[in-house]
Amino acid sequence: MIRSQRRQQGLQTGVFLLGMQALNFGLDKIPPATLIGVIAQTLLYTGLIQVPWNAEDVCISAVKIIKYKNWKSFFLSNFEHGSDMHLYYNMLSFILKGSYLEPLYGTTNFACLLVLLTIGCSAMYVSLGYMLMQFTGDYGYFTACAIGFSATLFALKVVALCEERDKLHNISGFIVPSKLAVWLELLLIHLLVPNSSFIGHLGGILVGCLYSYTFVGEMVDNMIHMITGTPIIHEEQFYRRRNRIFT
Which residue, 104, 219, 83, is CA-closest to 156? 104
- Residues 11 and 32: their CA atoms lie apart, in Å, by 25
Q: Check 73, 77, 178, 201 and give the catalytic one.
A: 201
**225 in catalytic set:** no
* Amino acid letter, residue 194: P
Q: Check 61, 150, 178, 197 and give the catalytic one.
A: 150
Residues 76, 78, 80, 86: what is their CA dihedral angle, to the nearest 10 degrees? 180
Contact between 139 and 61 under an 8 Å Cβ cutoff? The reply is no
- Residues 39 and 234: their CA atoms lie apart, in Å, by 28
**196 in catalytic set:** no
134-159 exposure pattern, b = at least 16 Cβ within 10 A, e = fewer: eeeeeeebbebbbbbbbbbbbbbbbb
Backbone angles phi, psi at 96, to 5 degrees: -65, -45
- Residues 136 and 132: their CA atoms lie apart, in Å, by 6
Other residues' Cβ atoms within 10 Å of the Cβ of residue 184: 14
- Residues 182 and 198: their CA atoms lie apart, in Å, by 13
- Residues with a catalytic annotation lie at 150, 201
